[in-house]
Structure 1
């Protein structure tokens, strides 16, 4: 399907991007890597009159550690997420998720900021960011703000970004050495959208779990924090018994949409199987 007609403009600064967005009366979209926006336009899910290319804005690039957090610029490409040593050490869930994102050609162009702004419920990075309890940095004409990942994903392809705001970075709290991480998904073929996926982290103190974070994706209209499963894990050793309790608790956390080709009961069962697999293979920070 052909794209609808639009005006293409390139911004060299955030201020210029905001001005171009305002000139369009809000009928504009920001373009970074293009692998989220362009397919959505081809499918007529979005039809802006103006695309504003933000790929050359220097402030949106770079990975650094400061003030107790890992800061990942929004223009960091998927392939860079996979290869960056700071991300691998401080946010390994993102490194573990990256190989599952589409295919190499897409990972070489797509950006983590564009991926999060699209908020596809079957995508890997939103779930990983949610499990990491990260904060999303947004910048707009009214200033900068940080949005907790728990508050960022509102509904299907809907986020807490205000009109005209730019997603500029992701802030991930630095993990203790005792933290365990795990990520996996089930897909028909590598690179396909996941039928179900799990991102999890847990702190261990005195041999028991203290603060589990479990997120599932491709199970609803947003990535889902499995809070009942988290409660089943907290305060217990990571054992077959606690994992079984967490698997059973998913019935309280998930309400998969009805799909004639993939009934909710089957998706819930796959989620239980995958959660058990991820929890039994969790590894510490390296």
Structure 2
């Protein structure tokens, strides 16, 4: 099936993109790397929209430090996250997650902002953002606002981004000395979406666990976190089964996903040196 669109415009700046969104009257779609949007268009799940191409806005690319936070531009590609030294030092969870995303061709085009805005519950970055206690930066006609990642993802492919807003960056607290980041997932084949996955940050002896593929959005696993903070791996696995709400589909049952999540958590605990 060929894509059906209502028009195309190339934005020169963020302000220009916001203006174009306003002119589209609710029918505008932001095109960045296009790895999710173009596929949706080709499947006919999104038709007649005005495509607003932001790929040429240089201000949305790159990584920088801003005080005690790392700022990652929305147009930073998956492949850039792997090799950027600031990401490797201050947010290695993203650097570890990027090679898990699909295949080389997609990693060379897809962007972190596109993945976060698309909010696929089986994608790695949204869960990483929650585990890192990151914040999402949005710009729109009413100015700039910042939303904690844990509040940004509201449902299946749904976010708190308002009509007319553009996701421009993500900010992450700089890693502290001794901080550990681990991500593990289970897939049928390399490059497939995860059947279940966990992204974990250990900071000051406490843990933050973001789950993906285990609900209608990325989940912060509070019960498992509390148990793991106490060194109780068995208790964390038991709590995790209650923290998540996995679907059953043609790929795997809900019970299998819960079991797989528990296996992944035990392996992550071993990676972090948490006694069983």
Structure 2: give runs of 5+ residues left out of the alignment. none
Q: What is the DSSP-based 3-state SS (H/G/I as helix, E as strand, rest coil) of the residue aligned with 2:215?
A: coil
1:91 is matched with 91
CA distance in 1, matches of 2:196, 2:49: 35
Q: CA deviation at 1:245?
A: 1.5
Q: What is the DSSP-based 3-state SS (H/G/I as helix, E as strand, rest coil) of the residue aligned with 1:214?
A: strand
Change over 3 Å in CA distance of 1:145–1:5 after alignment to 2:
closer
1:81 is matched with 81
2:264 is matched with 274
Change over 3 Å in CA distance of 1:261–1:100 after alignment to 2:
closer
Determine if contact 1:247/1:272 at 8 Å carries over to the other structure: yes
CA distance in 2, matches of 1:232, 1:38: 42
1:14 is matched with 14
1:225 is matched with 220
Instruction: Give the length in aligned residue pairs.
Output: 273
Determine if contact 1:195/1:218 at 8 Å carries over to the other structure: yes
Determine if contact 1:70/1:172 at 8 Å carries over to the other structure: yes
1:152 is matched with 152
2:242 is matched with 252
Structure 1: give runs of 5+ residues left out of the alignment. none
RMSD: 1.3
Change over 3 Å in CA distance of 1:141–1:181 after alignment to 2:
same
Runs of 4+ in 1 over 6 A off after TM superposition: none
- Superposition pairs of residues 114-129 of structure 1, within 5 angstroms: 114-129=114-129
TM normalised by structure 2 equals 0.95
Q: CA deviation at 1:260?
A: 5.3
CA deviations on 1:165-188 (whole Å, 9 max, x unpaired) are 110001000121121211111111
